[in-house]
């Protein structure tokens, strides 16, 4: 069945102000900014953050006349903290329930890091009948883990180390992680302590269980079939100095699996380039959306 005509497999969630209640009772917080008659741009955030990570892009595009929407993934930010469902199929189903409840049409879906995996699984699992374009930024597909078919992936020990850091002292771990995330550990980097504090605050708002389980979701999920099903214009953006999702196993490999996808890379840019280099990223996002 063509993905554009594939029916949605989950019902719309129930809206109540800035919250959506999913079919399993999870409450998802979401922002809905800009003119309601504008073309929707839907953002999916990275681990272990929240929709706040997208504010620079949301304000910019809303001022250009677009309707911008971003939710806190289950267990993250201001959403409720269920014990289960912290894997890509459920993330995609949550997103499908939100887009259905808001009755979004011709939406541009933008995903960063883990959010790029969420967008990828959403398109692969629910089709593109509501989707006009997709943007994957520093995204985890096609898979982060080293496997037989992906020998350049990261070894499992890397992710076991992340699990240990989150389990043992996540507050200290997230403070340290912010340095590599934004490239602030590079010689000559101009460090923003405010941005580091924002990263830490967003990270500590999530549930320990959700953040721990999500490590498996973002590192071990195989997105090859999802990427192969894409049938909308797709832009892949990736920083060449990404220390979190290395570009060779991320953007450069993803673009070979999506028919007609375009890749734009940025020398010296970090995983957190949507914040550190927001003016550049915003300009390229707008050009693709309008193109």
Which residues have a catalytic role annotated?
113, 242, 271
Residues making up the chain, counted from first to last = 291
157 sits in which H/E element: helix 156-181
**Residue 256's CB: how many other CB atoms inside 10 A?**
10
Rounded Cα–Cα distance for residues 289 and 50 (Å):
23
Q: Exposed/middle/buried for 148, CB within 10 Å: 0-12, 13-18, 19+? A: exposed
Q: Which of 26, 63, 23 is nearest to 41 (CA)?
A: 63
Q: Which of 291, 217, 285 is nearest to 62 (CA)?
A: 285
Q: Which of 87, 248, 246 is nearest to 158 (CA)?
A: 246
Cα pseudo-dihedral 110, 253, 277, 64, rounded to 10: -30
Judge whether 241 and 112 are in contact, CB under 8 Å: no
Rounded Cα–Cα distance for residues 185 and 229 (Å):
38
């Amino acid at each position: 069945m063509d993905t554009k005509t594939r029916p949605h497999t989950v019902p719309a969630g129930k809206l109540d102000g800035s919250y959506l209640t999913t079919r399993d009772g999870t409450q998802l917080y979401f922002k809905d900014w800009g003119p309601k008659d504008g073309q929707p741009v839907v953002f999916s955030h990275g681990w272990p953050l929240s929709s706040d990570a997208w504010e620079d892009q949301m304000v910019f595009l809303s001022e250009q006349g677009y309707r911008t929407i971003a939710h806190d993934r289950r267990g993250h930010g201001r959403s409720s903290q269920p014990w289960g469902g912290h894997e890509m199929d459920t993330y995609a189903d949550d997103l499908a329930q939100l887009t259905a409840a808001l009755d979004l049409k011709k939406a541009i879906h933008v995903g960063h890091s883990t959010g790029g995996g969420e967008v990828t699984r959403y398109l692969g699992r629910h089709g593109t009948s509501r989707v006009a374009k997709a943007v994957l930024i520093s995204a985890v597909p096609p898979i982060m883990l080293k496997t037989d078919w992906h020998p350049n992936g990261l070894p499992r020990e890397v992710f076991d180390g992340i699990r240990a850091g989150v389990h043992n002292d996540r507050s200290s771990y997230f403070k340290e992680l912010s340095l590599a995330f934004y490239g602030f550990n590079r010689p000559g980097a101009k460090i923003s302590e405010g941005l580091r504090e924002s990263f830490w605050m967003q990270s500590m708002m999530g549930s320990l269980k959700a953040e721990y389980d999500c490590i498996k979701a973002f590192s071990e999920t195989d997105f090859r079939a999802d990427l192969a099903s894409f049938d909308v214009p797709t832009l892949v953006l990736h920083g060449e100095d990404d220390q979190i999702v290395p570009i060779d196993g991320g953007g450069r490999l993803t673009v070979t699996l999506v028919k007609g996808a375009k890749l734009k890379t940025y020398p010296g840019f970090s995983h957190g380039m949507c914040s550190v280099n927001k003016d550049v990223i915003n300009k390229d996002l707008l050009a693709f959306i309008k193109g």
